[in-house]
Amino acid sequence: LFRSPGSFFRGAADKIQVIYQGCHPAFKQVYTQDSREAVRRKYGLPGRFLLSVGTIEPRKNLLTAVKSLLYHPLPLVVVGRETDYAKKVRDYIVQQGLQNRVHFLSNVSMEDLAMIYQSATVFCYLSIFEGFGIPVIEALYSRVPVITSLGGCFSEAGGPGSFYIDSTDGEMLAGRINALLQDAGLYQQVTGKGWE
């Protein structure tokens, strides 16, 4: 249930202004191909990849992105601090023989992270709940197609150009990824709408 700010605070509603969160200026800069390639080599990243950014904890729901690997060709690059939940994710990776398709990174500088975003093929953010979802904005500034969770705050961050799916459905995620990979026109359309 949504309640307006005026229902919590005394005062006139016309004195309340909503100011959305932004992201670090590093994501608004366009990096050269040579710079992005140097960062890709530095971290041993594949040429094309699905990117997921965020602490590796249950609510961020990385396991769905890993499960999607069974249905599409992109490797997955994960950037984030690990918690106990990472063991569950890593166990699944081993069980499914996906060790060569998942790359874990942590302690990445903001500038390197921005170049990793700009090098990604697709960005996924399948968090179960968020206050806003800043990584979605980082990806949109990086001109990368975004696939994120249906409901909650995600459409506010992702806008009309992003894909919204059931955050627990790895096959649905793979379907959106495959659609983007197979249709250059769709890929350009989604990227353009996200940037707008």
pLDDT in tens, the chain (196 residues): 455 655 666 777 788 887 777 889 999 999 999 999 999 999 999 999 999 999 999 999 999 999 999 999 999 999 999 999 999 999 999 999 999 999 999 999 999 999 999 999 999 999 998 888 999 999 999 999 999 999 988 998 999 999 999 999 999 999 999 999 999 999 999 999 998 8
* Per-residue confidence (pLDDT) for residue 4, from 0 to 100: 60
Residue-wise pLDDT for 92-107, tens only, equals 999 999 999 999 999 9
Instruction: Kindly tell me the sign of the dihedral angle through the C-alpha atoms of 182, 160, 121, 29.
Output: positive
* Per-residue confidence (pLDDT) for residue 73, from 0 to 100: 98
- The candidate with the shortest Cα–Cα distance to 135, out of 84, 186, 78, is 78
DSSP H helices, the chain, are 33-42, 62-68, 85-95, 110-119, 134-141, 154-158, 170-182, 184-195
In whole angstroms, what is the distance from residue 178 CA to residue 112 CA?
A: 27
- The candidate with the shortest Cα–Cα distance to 50, out of 189, 190, 193, 174, is 174
* Per-residue confidence (pLDDT) for residue 1, from 0 to 100: 47
Element (H, E) at 45: none
